Amino acid sequence: MGGAHLQYLPGYLDEIAQKALLEEIRCLVDRAPLFTPTMPRWGRPFSVRMSNCGPLGWVSDKSGYRYQPTHPVTGEPWPAMPQSLLDLWDATTGYKYPPQACLINYYSPDAKMGLHVDRDEEDFDAPILSLSLGDDARFRLGGRERSDPTQSFILRSGDIFILDGEDRLAYHGIDRIYPGTSLLLEEPGRINLTMRRVSKG
């Protein structure tokens, strides 16, 4: 699975940093409320609710998967990405260009995310940085083919996981949430922040 091409950084953010970041995320979601994406064509709702920050945001509806500069419900531009997240990207990825989108995914205790590949971007050289806040989650990572073997990781609040190189286009997903394993959020659940570079250069 090309272990040299992914980074698993458990406990990267301590409790104080997690709480500070959570307050920033709450402010962002006040301006860009969580919405429920739907599957292309069929319109089946995701179990995850989401928002975005940065110049672009990822959305999914009957028209397909895409990045766009505005919130699909309010029509307003996405709020700017906090400097703390830009600094985190620089410190952990070393990539020459900044991220353009940060997905804010909220997982309720019964939410999941099936195995998928992030391929809606133009720049596959750029890494994908994932940061966990709140309850533990079982993250499953496979290979370039859906049928490849997978391995599981328990992601905890403050953990960072970076897909890069050969693993940038690996299948991955969230199998389950473990409610009550963190006291960071006011209610059981998990917030996942996923930072991405969309365009080349």
Q: Per-residue pLDDT tens for 1-17?
A: 333 378 999 999 999 99
State the pLDDT at residue 36: 96
Rounded Cα distance between 76 and 153, Å, is: 36
Whether the CB-CB separation of 13 and 134 falls below 8 Å is answered with no
Q: How many CA atoms lie within 13 A of 89 on its CB side?
A: 23
- Written as six digits, the tokens of 112 are 């999941």
Q: How far is C-alpha 123 from the chain's CA centre?
A: 17
Residue type at 190 in one-letter notation: R
Task: Render pLDDT for 149-167 as a digit per residue (tens, 0 to 9).
Answer: 999 999 999 999 998 887 8
Domains, the chain, in order of start with CATH, read 3-196 (2.60.120.590)
pTM: 0.93
**pLDDT range class, residue 42, cuts 50, 70, 90:** confident
The residues with which 130 forms a beta bridge, in sequence order, are 161, 194
State the pLDDT at residue 3: 39
Q: Where are the alpha helices (DSSP H) in the chain?
A: 15-31, 83-93
State the pLDDT at residue 143: 84
